[in-house]
Every structure is written in structure tokens, then in C-alpha cells.
């Protein structure tokens, strides 16, 4: 080695240093990934139990009186069992009897929703049951009187003050309505702006000003869009609070710059030769754009729009400001009725005192992440599949 | 050539969409955040059991709610307002001026604020005055003639019979209804017993870190109390009830915070809460009468009503009967009743 | 009559009217062609021309009417407005039909109308910026009329209780005057941002170096989507995670060392926020580092530098402006981030250096002021707009600096993105 002309005395040290650097940068990525997996693991671990719900088998003598006052069953049942049944189930008895009129006068065996305490106890979480009740429950669980079923309620009802009756359906409907408004406003305007800037705008100070302006708009904190929605849409234009309409408008303005920037990038990828060929054939600018440039850039534009909408779907802060955190159990039927959206529901549930909401929040997060990931996957698929290659 | 039918088609389809846009048949409720959880519960029950739409309940504060409620009659104004105090004479007059002539008032029950600490601590009894001295921004000086910045760091500084423990109170943020109740019933009330405030209500809470606003998540307060033995916290009475395994109540003037003492008025931090209805909206908004009747029913606000499980302290049964009668007859409130702060007409 | 039915009625008039105009215009042109005239444009273009120029005045009248009623001229009943607008449309239709001849430049007219519409769409994003600026400045101005601006940016006491009482229409006569000194709030914001950056900058920049310089394309193709997942997680989810999982872990961890950490500590919120920002910094820095020309790197390697030395002394210095820009973007995201701090940080303005204590931020205070029980005109509500104004200005300045830096970097290496 010593005779080697190229031998550098410090080389071992330097190589060791290089190796350490390699380890350092790798560890940065490993830490980030570890966090991601830890995060997903915690949410899934917390959320999975929410997809099952305990039900208790009860024999109930159905009388006409129950239609008037369903709570009368509490007197006929075993005292403890009556305490295990959810109120939301009891109050739905009359409508169940109405659907099955032949029940009246008979004793039927029904599967009743249990209340949050029973459910949480059986899942091993915090509860407020006495020692006595716990033993009774253990016994009933062994005997199969209490069993876990798939939690349909979570997917069919809206928010509720009764934790076991709380579902995510209304929030999903609210999100769909809000996204509809956002999409109908932001996508056309965004694409039109991008087309104008890329295809029609003269290169002057004014155009540059607009471009800078759009870039800055993309970096404005989302909560400030909420302030805009409150001051302009609600206070000035009198748009009703808490509705998908005002929420959608606010989110539309927020996603506008993202859509514009990505649509512009998509238009830039269309080769100049296509435009020149159009001009050569005597087409107008609009004809070239409509029939040639636009269709070629469409996959890229759609990808960008989907990603922007996915971002809007997960946004909460501006919606809180425009009042989309009201208590709305029913699924909204129109964009002018009060509604809540998925992330806002996650926010309100996370602040609820009852432990059962924690697992419901985690389950809701799983659903929301599922939707967002599939939207992104669709976007990526669209880009890969339809993007023309030059 | 196109036929007339094709020409008419767009007209017909658009007209069909237009006609499907229907009128609003949903009850609108505004008002106090203290009453909000109870009203939302009844609203949900109403939607689940009667086939009507679930009313929209918004928390706007008692004063804000009154303002909206009294702004006039019509589909853009709320049908009900929640209130954590009786309607004021001035508000009643504004209502009358704006054409909101017939108002039905209903007492919902009582709301209590519990002060709690870690379960393993020794029992503690405080007076409202001690609590005030621990939390006020400025307290009377030693000679009681002037105000000085609050010097107390430990409970034993206030009164040497109290434990030698750091003062640390975790409470609601200034925007919450619980804080509202606390300010009014502890701070305002106690400040009247110190002559230096000239009998005027003083409700400034110290900001030097002794008082910690806990955020809207009351569960975190309970968690903190379970961890930190020095800390005390206050929240709606229901939280104490629910978490007796981790925390216990601080007695005030020797009175234990429990449902009985609250509804009897013995426990000092409790007050009546109300809901007001526009009788003029009956027949315009669907289900008004059914809603208020459900609210006043035994199953909801009765002594063993379900609202009790989420923190309402129900009225004693004779008072509840009287309230139900008022609701049954839909008797409107009169200026005399407003002056006396009542909602039930005198017999 | 609801806004909805008005809108639908309007559409119910407009769409068929334009449809008819299209048919008439097209037929007229077809007839001219049949008669052997050589028209300037194609028949369908005459159809579109007549439809668009019939619809335009209708929409303009309608918009003018709605604007007039918004600015207080409430004399025009809505159904009447619709009728007037549609009558204008019919008149326009008649005029256009009359004026269509073989020399009418239908195609050019469509072209200019479309250009106008596109330009109008472009204005909306400009209007949004000005809308935000205007609404915030307007309300913030109201606030500063009541409270001193100087005290707002230098005062250390944030104590708005009295304003809250007034806002909730309650008696506040005896309570001392409200104090709006926002320094503790700004301090909390910057402190939490600082903690977030302590997490995000090393992880992000080193991660970017790994991806662009060390990772095989296979690893890169797995890590990139994972980072995108991290970037796509909604902030409300991060907030939930920070409050429910991270905060208790930190409290227990520090309790082992005998330190008491708050459940709403700046540290917890800052760490989670940092993780949120890692993918932003990583992906931008990755782009920048990858775009440093291979020639430069090869030069360094040829001189006998190790790979690490090449990165440290050649690649990173060249990429530095871009990296700084990406960090600045991360800072601006952190400053404006809302949900994480709303859920995991505290409401108490607290001026301290201890990261284990609870602190509040500008965004938390904005949310608190706008979701509470008070009226819109109370000083407390308006303080949200004053805070919002500061946030707007700060993030805007940071963003402009960052974009300028990255632009000059791109110019230097002749990259034409952004």
C-alpha cells in the first residue's frame, strides 16, 4: 500500500466518514418511514374494533303499548339486561313493529344493540360497569347471548349523542355534496384559467402578475380561505352557514390554484408542433385548443384536478370557520341544508368525552384515508394509462 | 327539421328540476352552548322517533341566540333559542317590537359546575370566597382597602387551614358555556362579599399560569387530574359523575356536588336553563309543538329522564309537572313573568 | 322563493332560449349555403354565434340585477328580474337573427367571446386573492379602530375575556379592559414552527439526499409513493394522532426523567407538525438535488473526492438555494397549519422557552375566536381577522422570497419548471 503512488494517508478515515454519512441519510428515511408505519399501525389498531358491535339477544313480548311507549320494555326485562340495551335501539322499536305488524301479541327474540359501556367492556376498554354487571356480561358472552356483529350502524347513520348509535354516513354524504360544489366550480374555472394563461394570454406584465398571484394563492394558509368564506360568502352575500354550498365554494377557491398550476403543466407537455400544424391548416386558436391541445392534455389535467380535490376532501380548518361543525344527525338532502363533512366529523368526535368515540374516530380516519388513497391511485393510474408519450 | 317536441324537451326537463326544490321544513334552534348538548339530544330523539327532520341546533351563546330569535318572524329566523338564564326584559321588548309577540318559555332543568381533584387526594372543602381569591386577577390587599395582583401560590396562603398545595386550576376556555357558568356563579357571586369591589361583579381570572384553560376536550382535563395530584379542574357536573373512578368532587361550603344538592339549590354553582319557542311559527314550521312536548316529557327532562345521563340536573317532580302543564297549554310569557324571570304562569 | 328555485327557473329559461337560438342561427346559415352563398364561417358556427350572443346579455342582466340587490337596491323582485333578463335575451336573439348575413364573422366573434370568458375565469383567482386581502384588511381595520395596533404587535398580555363578555351581550362593566397583546401568540407560533423545523429539516433534507444520491431506482420507487401518502394525510388526522397518541407518550417519557410535560405541550404539536412537513421539504429538495448537473459531480469524483464529500462540498452547495426555498415553503406551511395545533396545542397564550409547556398559536386563536359564543362585531371576533392579517403578510413574504430563490436557482441551471 505504502508504495502505491495514489495512496492517500487519510483515505480510510475519509471512507469511514463517507460510510457514516450514508448511514445518516439512510436513517433519516428510515425514521420517516417508521413514523408512517407507527402511525398507520396505531390508527388501524384503534379503529378495527369499531367495525364490530356487540348485540344482545332478548325475548320481548310485543304489545300495542310498546308502539306508544317503547321504554316500557325496560320494566318487562331483567333489570340488568335493560341497562345493557342501547336507548337508540329501544326508541327505534315502534318503527320496527310497524314494519312487522304480525309481531304484535307474540313474544319475539330480537337482537338488541347494546350500549357503549357493554361494548367497550367486551372490547377491553374503559367502561363504567360494576363488578356484578361485568360477571353477568362475561357469562352472557360465553353463553352466546351477547355476540359481536358487523357494525352496520357506522355506515348507515349520522352523528349521534348516543355513542353506539353514531355513524359516518351523514358525513360521507356531506362530503360528497361539498365536493360536488367544489368540483363544479373549481375544475371548470381552473382549467379555463390554465388554458387562457398557456394558450391565449399575451406575454406581458399583466399576465406575469396573474401568474405570480396564482403561485402566491397556492401558499396562503387554508384557514384564511375560511376567513374569506365567512366575511364574503356568509356575511356579505348571505349564503346560509354550515351548508355544503358555502363549504364547497370556500374549498373551490382553495383548490383553484392547485388545479391551475397542474393544468398548466399538462398543457406545457403538449408539443408545440401540434399547435403549429393547426395554424398551418388555418384553424383558429380556439379550434386548435378545443380539438387538439385540450384532449391531449386532458389526462394530465384530470390527474391534477383529482389530486386537488382529494386535498380539499381532507381539509378541515376553513370549514370550521364557515360553521360546518354543527350537530347534524340526518344526511343532508340538498346543498343548501346544514351538513357536516368527513374531516369535520373526525374533529368533533375526537373531542367527545365517551371512549367509544375514540375508536369511531379512528375508524372514520381509516375510511377517509382509504378514500384519499384510492383517489390518488386513480389519479396516478389515469396519468400512466392515458398520458400520451411523445 | 326539428320537431316541436325536441324544442320543448329542455324546457320540460329543467322545469322538472326546478319544481323539486322544496321548502324548508326543518326546525332551527340557536342559543346557549350550555343547553346545546341537551337540546341536540332531544333533537336527535325527535328526528329518530317522529319521522320529522332532525332539527338543526347551533351554538351561538345565550345573548347571540336571543338576538337572532328576536330579529323577527319568518322562515329565515330560528324557531327556538336556548338560554342559560331567563330572558331579560330588554330582550323581551325587542322581541315584541320585531313582531315576535307570542313566546312560550320552558325551564329545562339545572346545570351544575363541579370542581374536582385526583381521587387519592384528601377531601377538600372550599368556600366560594376562597375559590375567588385563588383565581381572581386582582384580590383585596391585606387591609382589604385596595386591589393588588393576586399573590397566592398555595392554598395555605389563602387560609392556613387549607392544605399546603399549589393552586393549579384547569378549566374551560373563555368561549365555552361552562366557563360562562363558572364566571357568573363563582367569580361574580363571591366578589360581592368583598367590599373593595363596591358590590360590583368582578370576574377577571388570573393569567399567570395558575389558571390553565383546558380546551374544549373535557376528557383531557380528567386525564390531567388523574395524573397530577396538585391540579384541580372544573367542568360540567356530568363529567364528575362519569369519572368517579379517577376523580372526586371538592365540596363547597360543605355541600357535596351531587344531583340532589344541585336541584335543591343547596350546591352554590348551579343555575336554571331554559328554551324559548316562537308560538307564531306554529303551523309554519312542521313539528314545533311535538318538539317542545317531547322536550318537556318525563322521558326527557323528568326526574329519571334520559337527559340526566348526559349531565342535566332535572327539576323536582312538582316543578316538572307545572312545566308540562305550561307546555300543554302553550301559555305565552307575559311581561310580568319576564320581570320575575319565570316561564310558568302563576296559579 | 329560495335562491335555488330562482337559479333553476333562470336556467330553465336560458338553456332552451340558447338552444332555440342555435337552431335558428344554424338553419339560417344552412339556407344561405343552400342558396349558393359562400358564407364566412361554417353553419354550426353561426348556430353557436347566435346562441352565445343571445345568452350573454341574459347573464349580464341577471348578474347586474343580483349585484344591484346586494348593494341595497332591493326594489327589483327576483321573478321580475328573470323575466326582464329573458326578454332582453329574446330581443338579442331577434337582433342577431336579423344581422346574420353571409359576411358575418361568426367564427371570429365566437373566438373573441371565448377568449373573454377564459379571461374572466382567470380573473376569479385574482379576485380570490383580493377577496382574502380585502375581507381580512377590512375587518382587521375595524379591530384596530378599537384596539391599538402598537399594543397588538408589542403587548405581552392576551386577555380578551371582557371583549368576550361584551360580545356575548353580557354585563362587563366591572371587568377590567380587555388586552390584546399578541406577542405570546406570535411567540408560540414561531416556537412550534421552530420545533417542527428541527424535525422536518434534517429528516427532509437528508431524506432527499438519500433518495437522489444513494437510493437505487427500486427503493426510490417504493419510498416516493410512501412519502406521497405521508403528504396526503389530512391535517385533522395528524392532529388526532398528536393529541391521542403522541402527547401521552411524551408526558410519560418525560415523567421518567422527573420532568412534567403538558398534554398540550409545544413539543408534541411541533414534532407531529414536523413529520407533516418532511415530505414537502423532501420532495422539493429531491427535485433540486437531482437537477444539479452530473458533470459537476463527476468532476468532483474525478478529483478523488468520496461520494459523501462530493455531496457535501459540491452537490449541496449548488443545490442550497433550492433547499432553502423548500425549507421556507415548509416554514410557511407550519405557520399557517391549523388542525394539528387546534387539537394538540393549548389555548393559553404562554410566553416561555420551555417546550414542555403548553402554548398557543395564531391559527388556534383564530379558530377559538370564530367558533365561540360571541357576536360577529365583538373585538374578540375581529381579533381573528387582525391575527389573520399578520399571518397573511408573513406567509406571503416568505413565499415570495422562496419562489424568487427557487426561480433564480432554476435560471442558473436552466430548468424550466415553475
User: In terms of domains, do B32 and B84 share one?
Assistant: yes
Q: In terms of residue numbers, what domain contains A300?
A: 169-386
B221, B236, B270: which is the final residue of a domain? B270
User: In terms of domains, do B76 and B41 share one?
Assistant: yes
- Which of A70, A87, A330, A340 to substitute to test the interface with B, most B CBs within 10 Å? A330
User: In terms of domains, do B230 and B192 share one?
Assistant: yes
What total number of domains does chain A contain?
3
pLDDT given for residue B144 in this prediction: 75
- Across residues C146-167, what is the average pLDDT? 73
Given strand A52-61, what is the order of strands in its sheet? A107-113, A52-61, A146-150
Residues B40, A94: C-beta atoms closer than 8 Å: no
A199–chain B Cβ distance below 8 A for any pair = no
Residues of chain A contacting B27 with CB distance shorter than 8 Å: none
| Closest among A123, A211, A207 to A164, alpha carbons compared | A123
Residues of chain C contacting B137 with CB distance shorter than 8 Å: 176
- Asked whether residue B14 is assigned to any structural domain, the reply reads no
Residues of chain C contacting B201 with CB distance shorter than 8 Å: 171, 174-175
Which of C111, C125, C243 has its CB closest to that of A213? C125
pLDDT given for residue B22 in this prediction: 40
Under 8 Å between Cβ of A195 and A300: no
User: In terms of domains, do A198 and A120 share one?
Assistant: no
- Asked whether residue A181 is assigned to any structural domain, the reply reads yes
| Closest among A308, A351, A60, A39 to A187, alpha carbons compared | A308
Nearest CA in chain C to B17: C8
pLDDT band for position C374 (cuts 50, 70, 90) = low
B213, B238, B270: which is the final residue of a domain? B270
User: In terms of domains, do A67 and A35 share one?
Assistant: no
pLDDT band for position C259 (cuts 50, 70, 90) = confident
C-alpha grid cell for residue C220?
Answer: 426510490
pLDDT band for position C75 (cuts 50, 70, 90) = low
Name the H helices within chain A.
Answer: 11-47, 64-68, 73-76, 79-84, 87-91, 93-99, 116-122, 131-143, 153-156, 169-195, 205-219, 222-228, 244-268, 272-280, 285-288, 294-313, 317-321, 342-350, 356-386
User: In terms of domains, do A83 and A69 share one?
Assistant: yes
User: In terms of domains, do A332 and A252 share one?
Assistant: yes
- Which of A91, A327, A339 to substitute to test the interface with B, most B CBs within 10 Å? A327
- Asked whether residue B48 is assigned to any structural domain, the reply reads yes
pLDDT given for residue B274 in this prediction: 93
User: In terms of domains, do B210 and B101 share one?
Assistant: no
- Which of C163, C168, C381 to substitute to test the interface with B, most B CBs within 10 Å? C168
pLDDT given for residue A367 in this prediction: 96
The pLDDT of residue C176 is above 60: no
Residues C174, B209: C-beta atoms closer than 8 Å: no
pLDDT given for residue A363 in this prediction: 96
User: In terms of domains, do B104 and B124 share one?
Assistant: no
Neighbours of C339 (CB within 10 A): 28
The pLDDT of residue A313 is above 80: yes
The architecture (CATH level 2) of C182-369 comes to Orthogonal Bundle (1.10)
* E strand map for B95-152: 103-118, 125-126, 138-140, 147-149
User: In terms of domains, do A147 and A72 share one?
Assistant: yes
pLDDT tens series, chain B, 347 aa: 344 444 444 444 444 444 333 445 788 898 887 788 899 999 999 988 888 888 888 877 777 788 889 988 887 788 999 988 888 888 899 899 999 999 999 999 988 888 999 888 888 899 988 999 999 888 888 777 788 888 888 898 888 888 888 898 888 766 666 777 788 888 888 888 888 887 777 878 887 778 887 665 566 678 778 878 888 988 888 778 778 888 889 999 889 888 788 877 788 888 888 999 999 888 888 889 999 999 999 889 988 888 887 778 888 888 899 999 999 999 899 988 888 888 888 76
Residues B58, A323: C-beta atoms closer than 8 Å: yes
Which of C12, C157, C170 has its CB closest to that of B63? C170
- Which of C49, C121, C407 to substitute to test the interface with A, most A CBs within 10 Å? C121
> Hey, what's the torsion of the CAs at A329, A335, A338, A340, to 10 degrees?
60
Residues of chain B contacting A353 with CB distance shorter than 8 Å: 218-219, 222, 239, 242
What is the per-residue pLDDT across A99-119, written as a single tens digit (0 to 9) for each?
A: 888 888 888 888 999 989 899
Question: What does the alpha-carbon distance between residue B38 and residue B26 come to, in Å, rounded to a whole number?
Answer: 18
B270, B286, B318: which is the final residue of a domain? B270
CATH of the domain at A289: 1.10.3720.10
- Asked whether residue A24 is assigned to any structural domain, the reply reads yes
State the smallest CA–CA distance between residue C370 and chain B in angstroms. Answer: 10
* Domain spans, chain C: 3-104, 182-369
A137, A165, A193: which is the final residue of a domain? A165
User: In terms of domains, do B116 and B252 share one?
Assistant: yes
- A–B CB contacts, 8 A cutoff, strictly below: 53
pLDDT given for residue B171 in this prediction: 82
pLDDT given for residue A71 in this prediction: 80
> Hey, what's the torsion of the CAs at B65, B68, B71, B72, to 10 degrees?
-100
pLDDT given for residue C408 in this prediction: 81
H/E element holding C137?
helix C106-146
User: In terms of domains, do B129 and B240 share one?
Assistant: yes
Contacts of B among chains (3+ CB pairs under 8 A): A, C
Query: In percent, how much of chain A has pLDDT > 70?
Result: 98
Give just the sign of the alpha carbon dihedral B291, B296, B297, B299. positive
Residues of chain A contacting B294 with CB distance shorter than 8 Å: none
Q: State chain C's mean pLDDT as an integer.
A: 85
| Closest among A345, A348, A379 to A173, alpha carbons compared | A345
- Asked whether residue A4 is assigned to any structural domain, the reply reads no
Q: Which of residues 311-330 of A touch C (CB under 8 A)?
A: 311, 313-317, 320-321, 325
Residues A372, C395: C-beta atoms closer than 8 Å: no
pLDDT given for residue C65 in this prediction: 81
Q: In terms of residue numbers, what domain contains B100?
A: 26-110+272-339
C-alpha grid cell for residue C200?
Answer: 422536518
User: In terms of domains, do B120 and B253 share one?
Assistant: yes
State the smallest CA–CA distance between residue C152 and chain B in angstroms. Answer: 17
- Asked whether residue A260 is assigned to any structural domain, the reply reads yes
User: In terms of domains, do A177 and A281 share one?
Assistant: yes
Residues of chain A contacting C323 with CB distance shorter than 8 Å: none
User: In terms of domains, do B319 and B213 share one?
Assistant: no
Residues of chain A contacting C314 with CB distance shorter than 8 Å: none
- Asked whether residue B21 is assigned to any structural domain, the reply reads no
pLDDT given for residue C172 in this prediction: 45
Q: Decide which of C389 and B31 is more confident.
A: C389
What is the per-residue pLDDT across A4-18, written as a single tens digit (0 to 9) for each?
A: 777 778 888 999 999
In three-state secondary structure terms, B216 is: coil
Under 8 Å between Cβ of A367 and A359: no
CA angle (B136, B139, B142) in 5-degree steps = 150
C-alpha grid cell for residue B325?
Answer: 302543564
User: In terms of domains, do A347 and A237 share one?
Assistant: yes
Residues of chain C contacting B220 with CB distance shorter than 8 Å: 243, 263-264
Residues of chain B contacting C368 with CB distance shorter than 8 Å: 173, 175
Which of C132, C210, C392 has its CB closest to that of A26? C210
Which residue reads 358487523 in cell numbers?
A: A150
- Asked whether residue A1 is assigned to any structural domain, the reply reads no
| Closest among C219, C309, C203 to A20, alpha carbons compared | C309
State the smallest CA–CA distance between residue A351 and chain B in angstroms. Answer: 5
Residues B205, C171: C-beta atoms closer than 8 Å: no
Residues of chain C contacting B176 with CB distance shorter than 8 Å: 372
Q: Which of residues 144-203 of C touch A (CB under 8 A)?
A: 202-203
User: In terms of domains, do B182 and B207 share one?
Assistant: yes
C-alpha grid cell for residue A292?
Answer: 387538439
- Asked whether residue B116 is assigned to any structural domain, the reply reads yes
pLDDT given for residue C283 in this prediction: 92
pLDDT given for residue C180 in this prediction: 86
Neighbours of B30 (CB within 10 A): 25
* ipTM field: 0.91
Q: State chain A's mean pLDDT as an integer.
A: 89
- Asked whether residue A342 is assigned to any structural domain, the reply reads yes
Which of C12, C263, C369 has its CB closest to that of B11? C12
pLDDT given for residue C361 in this prediction: 93
- Across residues A361-385, what is the average pLDDT? 92
Question: What does the alpha-carbon distance between residue C96 and residue C109 come to, in Å, rounded to a whole number?
Answer: 12
User: In terms of domains, do B172 and B146 share one?
Assistant: yes
A320–chain B Cβ distance below 8 A for any pair = no
User: In terms of domains, do A93 and A111 share one?
Assistant: yes
Residues of chain A contacting B50 with CB distance shorter than 8 Å: none
CATH of the domain at B155: 3.40.190.10
Q: What are phi and psi of B151, to 5 degrees?
A: -90, -10
- Asked whether residue B323 is assigned to any structural domain, the reply reads yes
Residues of chain A contacting B37 with CB distance shorter than 8 Å: 161
The pLDDT of residue C335 is above 90: yes
What total number of domains does chain B contain?
2
Contacts of A among chains (3+ CB pairs under 8 A): B, C
- Asked whether residue B1 is assigned to any structural domain, the reply reads no
- Asked whether residue B43 is assigned to any structural domain, the reply reads yes
Nearest CA in chain C to A364: C237
C-alpha grid cell for residue C363?
Answer: 391559527
pLDDT given for residue B175 in this prediction: 60
User: In terms of domains, do B126 and B210 share one?
Assistant: yes
Residues of chain C contacting A230 with CB distance shorter than 8 Å: 135, 370
Task: Characterise B25 by phi-psi region: left (phi > 0), alpha (psi -120 to 50), beta (else).
Answer: alpha
Which of C11, C168, C346 has its CB closest to that of B63? C168
Q: Which of residues 344-373 of A touch C (CB under 8 A)?
A: 344, 346-347, 350, 358, 361-362, 365, 368-369, 372-373
User: In terms of domains, do A137 and A204 share one?
Assistant: no
A120, A139, A165: which is the final residue of a domain? A165
Which of B14, B197, B213 has its CB closest to that of C15? B14
Amino acid at each position: 500500500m505504502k508504495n502505491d503512488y495514489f495512496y492517500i494517508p487519510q483515505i480510510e478515515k475519509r471512507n469511514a466518514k463517507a460510510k457514516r454519512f450514508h448511514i445518516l441519510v439512510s436513517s433519516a428515511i428510515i425514521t420517516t418511514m417508521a413514523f408512517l408505519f407507527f402511525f398507520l399501525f396505531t390508527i388501524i389498531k384503534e379503529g378495527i374494533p369499531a367495525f364490530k358491535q356487540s348485540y344482545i339477544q332478548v325475548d320481548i313480548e310485543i304489545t300495542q303499548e310498546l308502539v306508544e311507549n317503547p321504554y316500557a320494555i325496560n320494566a318487562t326485562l331483567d333489570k340488568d339486561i335493560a341497562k345493557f340495551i342501547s336507548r337508540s335501539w329501544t326508541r327505534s322499536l315502534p318503527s320496527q313493529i310497524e314494519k312487522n305488524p304480525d309481531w304484535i301479541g307474540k313474544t319475539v327474540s330480537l337482537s338488541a344493540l347494546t350500549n357503549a359501556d357493554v361494548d367497550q367492556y367486551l372490547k377491553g376498554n374503559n367502561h363504567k360497569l360494576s363488578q356484578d354487571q361485568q360477571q353477568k356480561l362475561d357469562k352472557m358472552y360465553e353463553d352466546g347471548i351477547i355476540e359481536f356483529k358487523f357494525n352496520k350502524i357506522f355506515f348507515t347513520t349520522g352523528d349521534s349523542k348516543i355513542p353506539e348509535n353514531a355513524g359516518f354516513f351523514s358525513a360521507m354524504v356531506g362530503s360528497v355534496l361539498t365536493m360536488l360544489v367544489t368540483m363544479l366550480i373549481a375544475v371548470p374555472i381552473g382549467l379555463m384559467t390554465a388554458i387562457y394563461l398557456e394558450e391565449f394570454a399575451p406575454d406581458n406584465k399583466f399576465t406575469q402578475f396573474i401568474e405570480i398571484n396564482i403561485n402566491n394563492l397556492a401558499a396562503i394558509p387554508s384557514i384564511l380561505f375560511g376567513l374569506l368564506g365567512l366575511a364574503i360568502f356568509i356575511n356579505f352575500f348571505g349564503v346560509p352557514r354550515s351548508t355544503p354550498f358555502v363549504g364547497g365554494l370556500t374549498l373551490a377557491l382553495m383548490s383553484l390554484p392547485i388545479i391551475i398550476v397542474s393544468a398548466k403543466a399538462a398543457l406545457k407537455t403538449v408539443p408545440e408542433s401540434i399547435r403549429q400544424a393547426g395554424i398551418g391548416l388555418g384553424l383558429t386558436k380556439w379550434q386548435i385548443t378545443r380539438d387538439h391541445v385540450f384532449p391531449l392534455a386532458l389526462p394530465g389535467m384530470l390527474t391534477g384536478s383529482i389530486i386537488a380535490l382529494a386535498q380539499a376532501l381532507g381539509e378541515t380548518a376553513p370549514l370550521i370557520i364557515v360553521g360546518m361543525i354543527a350537530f347534524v344527525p340526518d344526511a343532508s338532502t340538498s346543498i343548501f341544508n346544514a351538513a357536516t363533512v368527513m374531516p369535520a366529523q373526525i374533529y368533533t368526535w375526537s373531542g367527545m368525552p365517551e371512549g367509544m368515540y375514540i375508536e369511531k374516530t379512528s375508524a372514520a380516519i381509516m375510511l377517509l384515508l382509504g378514500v384519499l388513497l384510492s383517489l390518488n391511485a386513480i389519479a396516478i393510474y389515469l396519468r400512466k394509462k392515458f398520458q400520451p408519450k411523445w | 327539421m326539428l320537431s316541436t317536441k325536441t324544442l320543448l324537451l329542455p324546457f320540460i326537463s329543467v322545469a322538472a328540476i326546478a319544481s323539486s326544490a322544496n321548502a324548508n321544513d326543518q326546525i332551527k334552534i340557536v342559543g346557549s352552548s350550555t343547553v346545546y348538548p341537551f337540546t341536540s339530544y332531544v333533537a336527535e330523539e325527535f328526528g329518530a322517533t317522529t319521522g320529522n327532520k332532525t332539527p338543526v341546533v347551533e351554538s351561538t351563546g345565550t345573548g347571540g341566540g336571543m338576538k337572532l330569535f328576536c330579529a323577527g318572524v319568518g322562515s329565515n329566523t330560528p324557531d327556538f333559542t336556548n338560554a342559560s338564564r331567563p330572558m331579560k326584559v330588554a330582550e323581551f321588548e325587542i322581541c315584541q317590537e320585531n313582531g315576535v309577540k307570542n313566546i312560550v318559555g320552558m325551564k329545562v332543568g339545572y346545570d351544575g359546575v363541579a370542581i374536582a381533584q385526583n381521587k387519592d387526594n384528601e377531601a377538600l372543602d372550599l368556600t366560594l370566597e376562597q375559590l375567588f381569591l385563588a383565581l381572581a386577577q386582582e384580590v383585596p390587599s391585606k387591609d382589604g382597602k385596595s386591589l393588588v395582583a393576586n399573590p397566592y401560590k398555595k392554598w395555605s396562603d389563602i387560609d392556613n387551614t387549607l392544605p399546603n398545595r399549589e393552586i393549579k386550576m384547569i378549566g374551560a376556555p373563555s368561549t365555552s358555556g361552562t366557563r360562562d357558568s363558572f364566571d357568573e356563579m363563582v367569580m361574580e357571586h363571591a366578589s360581592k362579599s368583598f367590599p373593595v369591589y363596591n358590590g360590583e361583579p368582578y370576574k377577571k381570572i388570573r393569567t399567570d399560569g395558575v389558571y390553565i384553560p383546558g380546551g374544549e376536550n373535557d376528557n383531557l382535563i380528567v386525564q390531567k387530574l388523574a395524573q397530577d395530584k396538585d391540579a384541580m379542574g372544573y367542568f360540567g357536573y356530568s363529567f364528575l359523575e362519569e369519572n368517579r373512578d379517577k376523580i372526586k368532587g371538592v365540596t363547597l361550603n360543605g355541600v357535596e356536588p351531587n344531583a340532589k344538592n344541585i336541584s335543591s339549590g343547596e350546591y352554590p354553582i348551579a343555575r336554571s336553563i331554559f328554551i324559548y319557542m316562537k308560538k307564531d311559527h306554529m303551523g309554519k314550521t312542521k313539528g314545533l309543538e311535538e318538539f317542545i312536548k317531547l322536550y318537556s316529557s318525563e322521558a326527557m327532562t323528568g326526574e329519571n329522564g334520559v337527559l340526566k345521563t348526559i349531565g342535566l340536573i332535572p327539576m323536582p317532580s312538582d316543578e316538572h309537572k307545572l312545566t308540562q302543564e305550561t307546555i300543554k297549554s302553550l301559555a305565552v310569557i307575559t311581561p310580568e313573568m319576564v320581570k320575575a324571570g319565570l316561564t310558568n304562569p302563576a296559579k | 322563493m329560495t335562491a335555488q328555485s330562482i337559479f333553476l327557473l333562470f336556467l330553465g329559461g336560458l338553456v332552451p332560449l340558447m338552444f332555440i337560438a342555435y337552431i335558428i342561427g344554424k338553419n339560417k346559415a344552412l339556407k344561405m349555403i343552400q342558396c349558393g352563398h359562400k358564407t364566412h364561417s361554417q353553419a354550426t358556427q353561426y348556430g353557436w354565434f347566435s346562441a352565445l350572443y343571445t345568452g350573454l346579455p341574459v347573464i349580464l342582466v341577471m348578474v347586474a340585477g343580483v349585484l344591484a340587490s346586494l348593494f341595497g337596491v332591493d326594489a327589483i323582485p327576483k321573478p321580475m328580474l328573470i323575466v326582464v333578463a329573458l326578454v332582453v335575451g329574446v330581443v338579442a336573439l331577434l337582433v342577431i337573427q336579423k344581422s346574420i348575413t353571409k359576411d358575418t364573422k361568426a367564427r371570429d366573434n365566437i373566438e373573441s367571446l371565448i377568449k373573454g370568458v377564459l379571461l374572466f375565469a382567470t380573473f376569479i383567482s385574482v379576485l380570490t386573492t383580493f377577496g382574502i386581502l380585502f375581507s381580512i384588511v377590512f375587518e382587521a381595520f375595524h379591530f384596530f379602530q378599537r384596539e391599538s395596533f402598537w399594543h397588538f404587535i408589542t403587548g405581552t398580555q392576551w386577555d380578551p375575556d371582557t371583549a368576550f363578555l361584551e360580545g356575548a351581550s353580557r354585563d362587563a362593566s366591572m371587568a377590567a379592559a380587555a388586552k390584546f397583546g399578541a406577542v405570546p401568540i406570535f411567540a408560540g407560533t414561531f416556537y412550534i414552527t421552530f420545533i417542527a423545523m428541527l424535525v422536518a429539516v434534517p429528516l427532509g433534507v437528508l431524506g432527499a439526499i438519500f433518495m437522489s444520491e444513494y437510493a437505487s431506482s427500486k427503493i426510490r420507487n417504493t419510498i416516493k409513493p410512501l412519502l406521497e401518502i405521508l403528504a396526503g394525510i389530512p391535517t385533522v388526522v395528524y392532529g388526532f394522532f398528536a393529541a391521542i397518541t403522541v402527547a401521552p407518550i411524551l408526558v410519560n417519557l418525560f415523567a421518567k426523567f422527573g420532568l412534567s410535560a403538558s398534554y398540550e405541550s409545544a413539543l408534541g404539536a411541533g414534532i407531529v407538525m414536523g413529520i407533516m412537513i418532511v415530505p414537502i421539504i423532501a420532495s422539493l429538495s429531491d427535485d433540486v438535488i437531482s437537477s444539479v448537473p452530473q458533470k459537476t459531480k463527476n468532476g468532483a469524483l474525478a478529483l478523488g473526492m468520496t461520494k459523501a464529500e462530493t455531496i457535501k462540498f459540491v452537490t449541496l452547495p449548488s443545490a442550497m438555494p433550492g433547499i432553502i426555498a423548500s425549507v421556507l415553503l415548509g416554514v410557511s406551511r407550519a405557520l399557517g397549519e391549523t388542525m394539528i395545533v387546534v387539537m394538540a396545542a393549548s389555548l393559553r397564550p404562554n410566553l416561555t422557552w420551555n417546550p414542555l409547556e403548553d402554548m398557543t398559536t395564531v391559527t388556534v386563536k383564530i379558530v377559538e375566536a370564530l367558533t365561540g359564543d360571541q357576536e360577529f362585531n365583538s373585538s374578540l371576533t375581529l381579533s381573528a381577522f387582525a391575527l389573520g392579517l399578520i399571518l397573511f403578510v408573513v406567509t406571503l413574504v416568505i413565499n415570495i422570497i422562496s419562489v424568487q430563490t427557487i426561480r433564480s436557482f432554476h435560471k442558473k441551471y436552466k430548468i424550466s419548471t415553475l
